[in-house]
Amino acid sequence: MKIKNLLRVTVASIALLSASLHAAPLVLATKSFTEQHILSALTVLYLQKKGFQVEAKTNIATVISRNAMINKQVDMTWEYTGTSLIIFNHINKRMSPQQSYDTVKRLDARLGLVWLKPADMNNTYAFAMQRKRADAEHISTMSQMAAKIEHIRQTDPDNNWLLGLDLEFAGRSDGMKPLQEAYNMPLDRPQIRQMDPGLVYNAIRDGFVDAGLIYTTDGRVKGFDLKVLEDDKGFFPSYAVTPVVRKDTLDANPGLEQAFDTLTSLLNNDVITTLNARVDIEHQTPQQVARDFLKQKGLL
């Protein structure tokens, strides 16, 4: 009897081992820009180190990734609170970062999606200037920039202050027009230079525009030594990057939430901006940057 019981236990153990070896990998979907490529590489490397099988799908459009999560074709992603609030849940009410997180966490829970611990990084819109010029002119907030623009309009109308904007923001109903109202910032059409988002950073650096609309965690902010102006009226929504995982995936994978918590605890705006710059400015691969960072933190 003991031999038969031992055989049963052995066969059962082999079956469990075989099932785990052939279990479907966790599918991670990320978007098509540098920051998301780095987050993808960090996640894959660290989760594999922790014993999870992971399949990365990159360059996935936001709405496609969302639908794939809901339809259980994707297990997890790195999403932004502002994206879920505005694009997915159609809420344009101004909220604090904590209110935004609490709202999307509550609403998305109905769909079986769990927002884990957010990273201390906010990839939102902002205006930026050449740091040297901003410091010389004592401009550190958007209200100070608006006051400077109005002063020039009143005293030197031939010397237009030029703003660089991407085409989308310039024409959006929640873009430039309400921003001007919030900051009491009248502008003449010639003062707005519309261009590809990626060109705005070069235009600020090279003095083609006086200030421009940027993303706060873009590597070129640090690489080009730009000064991000404080949004002192809180116009721009919070875009805190957060792991979002299907609830059934979390339930089936003990330790997954803790692994993500470890990653998010390492990330903030300064860290991700530095990592982004290594890809965008120094032309390292996201995989190389992610591996070096995890090794530096003692996680590989």
- For the chain, how many helices (H) and strands (E)? 15, 10
- Of 194, 228, 262, which one is at a domain's C-terminal end? 228
Query: Which CATH number covers residue 85?
Result: 3.40.190.10
Domain-embedded: residue 169: yes
Q: Phi and psi dihedrals of 70, rounded to 5?
A: -65, -35
The helix/strand/coil state of 224 is coil
Whether the full predicted model's pTM is greater than 0.85, yes or no, is no
Instruction: List Cα–Cα distances, 229 to 26, 105, 134, 164, 234, in angstroms.
Output: 39, 29, 9, 14, 12
Q: Are residues 10 and 89 in the same domain?
A: yes
Distance CA 285, CA 63 (A): 26
Please choose, from the candidates 116, 93, 115, the residue with its C-alpha nearest in 3D space to the C-alpha of residue 104.
115
The helix/strand/coil state of 297 is coil
Distance CA 62, CA 57 (A): 12
Instruction: List Cα–Cα distances, 65 to 5, 59, 60, in angstroms.
Output: 48, 10, 6
Q: Are residues 278 and 257 in the same domain?
A: yes
Q: Which domain holds residue 100?
A: 2-122+239-296
H or E stretch at 31:
none
- Of 177, 201, 228, which one is at a domain's C-terminal end? 228
Distance CA 220, CA 224 (A): 5
Q: How many CA atoms lie within 13 A of 262 on its CB side?
A: 17
Q: Are residues 105 and 156 in the same domain?
A: no
Domain-embedded: residue 233: no
Q: Do 39 and 57 contact (CB within 8 A), yes or no?
A: no
Q: Are residues 97 and 64 in the same domain?
A: yes
Q: Are residues 209 and 254 in the same domain?
A: no
Residues 6+ apart with CB under 8 A from 81: 97, 100, 101, 104, 115, 118, 237, 238, 239, 240, 242
Q: Are residues 111 and 32 in the same domain?
A: yes
Whose tokens are 């609403």? That residue is: 107
Please choose, from the candidates 161, 163, 125, 115, the residue with its C-alpha nearest in 3D space to the C-alpha of residue 260.
115
Say what the pLDDT of residue 177 is: 87
Q: Are residues 99 and 243 in the same domain?
A: yes
Say what the pLDDT of residue 11 is: 43
Domain-embedded: residue 234: no
Q: Are residues 175 and 78 in the same domain?
A: no
Q: Are residues 27 and 66 in the same domain?
A: yes
Q: What is the pLDDT along the chain (300 residues), one digit of tens a residue?
A: 444 454 454 444 444 444 444 468 999 999 988 999 999 999 999 999 999 999 999 999 989 999 999 999 999 999 999 999 988 999 988 899 999 999 999 999 999 999 999 999 999 999 999 999 999 999 999 999 999 999 988 888 778 889 999 887 877 666 888 899 999 998 877 888 998 888 999 999 999 999 999 999 999 999 999 999 999 999 999 999 999 999 999 999 999 999 999 999 999 999 999 999 999 999 999 999 999 999 999 999
Rounded (10°) CA dihedral 101, 269, 77, 80: 40
Q: Phi and psi dihedrals of 149, rounded to 5?
A: -60, -45
Rounded (10°) CA dihedral 180, 133, 34, 172: 10
- Of 195, 228, 261, which one is at a domain's C-terminal end? 228
Give me the number of domains the chain comprises.
2
Say what the pLDDT of residue 14 is: 43
Q: Are residues 102 and 35 in the same domain?
A: yes
Query: Which CATH number covers residue 200?
Result: 3.40.190.120
Q: Are residues 219 and 269 in the same domain?
A: no
Please choose, from the candidates 97, 38, 40, the residue with its C-alpha nearest in 3D space to the C-alpha of residue 272.
38
Q: Are residues 95 and 17 in the same domain?
A: yes
Say what the pLDDT of residue 132 is: 97
Domain-embedded: residue 179: yes
